[in-house]
Amino acid sequence: MASVLIAGPDTRVIELRVHGVMGTTPESLVDAVVAVDVAGDGVGRIVRPADRLRRPAPGPVLHAGGRPVPRTVEGYLWSAMTSGGFAKAAWALLLPFSLANMAHWMLPPTGRVLGGTLRSLVRLAALVLTMLLVTQLTVVSLDLVAGQWLDQFSQLRPWRAPIGLAPVLIVVALLHKLSAIDWKVHTPSPAPQRDLLPGARIAADPDAPALHVLHATAGLACAALLAAGGPFGASSDRVFVVWIAAWALILLSVLITLALDAPTEGRWFKPWARRLLVVATLLEFVAAGALAPMPSHGQHLPGTDPTVQSIAGVLGVTVVAFALVLIPAAVLARGGWSQLPPSLRPWAGGWMAAPMLVIASLLGGGFGAGVGITVQKALGDDSLQLPPGYRYVTTLWGVAAVLAVVVGLVGALVLVLPRGTKPIEIDLLHPGKPEDAKHAAQAWRLARLERKHAHHVFLVAAAVLSAGTVASVLMQIRGVELPWWGQPLPGIGITALGAFAIGLLRLVYVATKSPDTARQLGLLNDIAGFWPREAHPLVPPCYALKAIPELVARAQEHLADPGTRVVLAGYSQGSLLATIAAARLLDSLPAHERERVGLVTAGSPLQWAYPRAFPAVVSHDSLAELAKAMNGRWRAVCRGTDAIGGGVTTWERLAFDGQLLGVGFEGALPAAERSPNGALVLGGDHWLPDPQRGPIAGRRWRPGVLRHRDYTSDPEWDHAIAAAAGLDVAEAPLTLWNFKH
């Protein structure tokens, strides 16, 4: 049962909203024509509605216990951390790195030995992925452009090696500088005292600076190795020392990366050692540029093919080893969720990190190959040579493009054709509204289909790309030519890779000019950028490490007033931030203060996505523990038409005798109550009718099926806020339920 506190004359409610992906405007966040900043540092902003003189204004009152209770609406904006400006737009180019980093956070709960092995393998795969992309850049810059194309300019021939290696050094330096950006937290919060809380493991990794250096070292060493003749021997005696030094730097980077583990208090790879390694790497790179021999008459560099193939082979072996070691880890962890219904168990039985790492690796390799092919075509010289393996890469992506079109058409057909039974909630939410029920039923089916099969898209993509990779490798080893029906595939792959590379680069450029496009591009960063730099350091800074402590600090500031109750209200991705902040807030407050904290999540993927994709970080058990601590003050506002959101605190719903039943964190639940606003309140979930009931006099109204949009426009929003604040909501004012059926 929800705890209800008696509202005194000094009681007021602070509703602290947190937006979702792709950002929003301050005005939209707080439902006002004008909004002003009242706190924050410009990156994490606290805003409130304002009057005509741009002074902070109070929000609409809440009705509880037969009287109005003052409410202040605040919003926390974190979109400046993921969108706006060239640097943040360029983070989209790091998507393969971000996916590799995210794969680490998808690991199931493991023991010390298996966990340490898996963490080491995913860090090694991330390091080799960086080496592959830097090597592919070297192929374009040193081999294709400097070694072959610039050979026609006699005055530039002696300078081709330094000219070809200079862009590689610049790009690595920019990546290093870009990924070293971090957000300053002015009010850090203490680490959680209990591990069984949502997001308790989310913390900055003290090894991240060391990983920055190791990735830069390994990448530049691979470029020097290619210039010196490749992994199997120096191209001449004068670069033998360069060749040996490159191998030494690569092996040293690999060994140190394998030795690094989860966040610890100590940093055994000291700053002075990192600086020494950077100096040695720069000296090695300069020596490679000065001594590396370049072929005459525009010939192919001898080290190109073996270097690219060797690194790609090591990456493949590492990913396969990671996937194999992950199998027993997932099997051993299965006992932790075997009692849950299938709809709540982790995706792929806890093995989801493996396909995510596969996709990251193949996207990274495909992007590098796409850039090389694009530059080759742009130079307009048919004699320019790329590594022979690139032809098999184009075949792989040609097959993937064709299958993507086929799967897309089948998926579109499945989505268009109505299928399945009508959701049980429809008739209960839309009594006497057959037209609304018809539109709602179709939207419910589509949303349920998307939520049910979202992870299958990743599994199918990983399976198709993996099968294509195996086939391409076997064809390359055996020298098999494509049959007549497969001849168009390389051309399709070239088009797909070129479009992928050009489209992503263009999107980054446009995002620097248009704030709206920047927010759309921020969708990638919003999801992947939530996770701290753990496996791959060359990723966007983790905004959760700044947003969560600042939300906790703002709530504590308000709670200093004994009459204030704080409700953290998170929408979509913001619901994850709000939930973790609420958990840490309860963890830091004395028992008698916790009753003044509430949580509302809207359009939240906290049940169907995050516990299933990240079972060791946001587990079902941790959410149950939080729900128990909230004692009924966690309310989830949800729509069945929302493919991103959905139920959070209840599952296994069924209709019986005109009532909605279900199971929640505390077990079987009483039948759902019908809110005065037409919503069904089952446990902590407030199921909204969509389309909304109304219009309602004196309230903003949105027509049509809203799906994932505008939860605050529904009158049930105020009901959920009041319930989360612990107010008596047994009686609601007449204006909230005076609607026509």
Query: What are the distances in angstroms from CA 504 to CA 94, 373, 512, 664?
Result: 11, 15, 13, 43
| Average pLDDT of the chain, as a whole number | 84
Helical packing angle, 160-179 and 208-228, nearest 10°: 170
Instruction: List CB contacts of 221: < 8 A, sequence separation 6 or more.
Output: 245, 246, 247, 249, 250, 253, 281, 284
Looking at the chain, how many residues does it have? 741
Residue 518 predicted with pLDDT over 70: no
| pLDDT for 85 | 58
| pLDDT for 250 | 96
Q: How confident is residue 616, by pLDDT bands cut at 50, 70 and 90?
A: very high
| pLDDT for 369 | 80
- The pLDDT tens digits for 685-719 are 999 998 888 777 777 778 888 888 899 999 899 99
Q: Coil, strand, or helix at residue 182?
A: coil
Residue 595 predicted with pLDDT over 50: yes
- The pLDDT tens digits for 328-371 are 999 999 988 989 999 999 999 999 999 999 999 988 888 788 78
Residue 411 predicted with pLDDT over 70: no
* Residue 704 near residue 691, CB atoms below 8 Å: yes
- The DSSP code sequence of 319-354 is HHHHHHHHHHHHHHHGGGTTTS-GGGSPGGGGTTHH
Around 75, how many Cα atoms within 13 Å sit in the side-chain half-sphere? 27
The H-assigned helical ranges of 529-670 are: 544-559, 573-588, 610-613, 620-630
pLDDT above 90 coverage of the chain, percent: 42
Greater pLDDT, 82 or 672? 672
- The pLDDT tens digits for 254-273 are 999 998 864 444 466 788 88
Q: How confident is residue 735, by pLDDT bands cut at 50, 70 and 90?
A: very low
CA-based nearest residue to 242, from 253, 251, 230: 230
- Token pair in block for residue 348: 């792929």
| pLDDT for 266 | 43
pTM of the model: 0.89
| pLDDT for 733 | 38
Rg (CA), the chain: 28
| pLDDT for 29 | 93
- The pLDDT tens digits for 136-152 are 999 999 988 888 888 77
Q: Coil, strand, or helix at residue 396?
A: helix
